[in-house]
Amino acid sequence: MQFLFERLSVLPRNLDGRSESFDQVAAVIAQIQRIASTARSVGDSVGVVPWGMRSVPTIGASATLQFEAYAKTLGDAIARYEPRLTSVQVSVERHDDPLSPYGLLVSAVFPDEDQPRNVRVAAPF
């Protein structure tokens, strides 16, 4: 299955008449990253999207709890807006890098696969 944007972005046919192949796994990973990169409207308690991460300076001392809650709602958003995936779970990973101490690990069953695949995506915080 291809979303409309993916169908529109397919390169035109080559000179030999064959069209470029569609990499569904790469498209799904790109869609996961787009969903994860979506941010809430700044300063509002109610965001434009229910899963967007608030601005980091507004999170404060409860960062770990906020990030875990974000992972849960992000998993729900991915399950809803990326129907090609099943058994979606998102967890927060800690890193040693002080400039990027958190990351996201998305585990899901991709189309035509039997086992979950882990995908690391950039965290928007």
Contacts with 85 (C-beta within 8 Å, 6 or more apart), sequence order: 28, 78, 79, 108, 109, 110, 111
The three-state secondary structure class of 71 is helix
Determine the Cα–Cα distance for residues 29 and 23; give it in Å rounded to an integer: 10
Q: 39-63 pLDDT, tens per residue?
A: 665 555 555 456 565 555 566 556 7
Determine the Cα–Cα distance for residues 52 and 42; give it in Å rounded to an integer: 10
**Averaged pLDDT in 10-residue chunks for the chain of 125 residues:** 63 65 84 80 53 59 75 89 92 82 89 92 72
- Domain 23-121 CATH class label: alpha beta
Mean pLDDT of the chain: 77
Domain ranges of the chain: 23-121
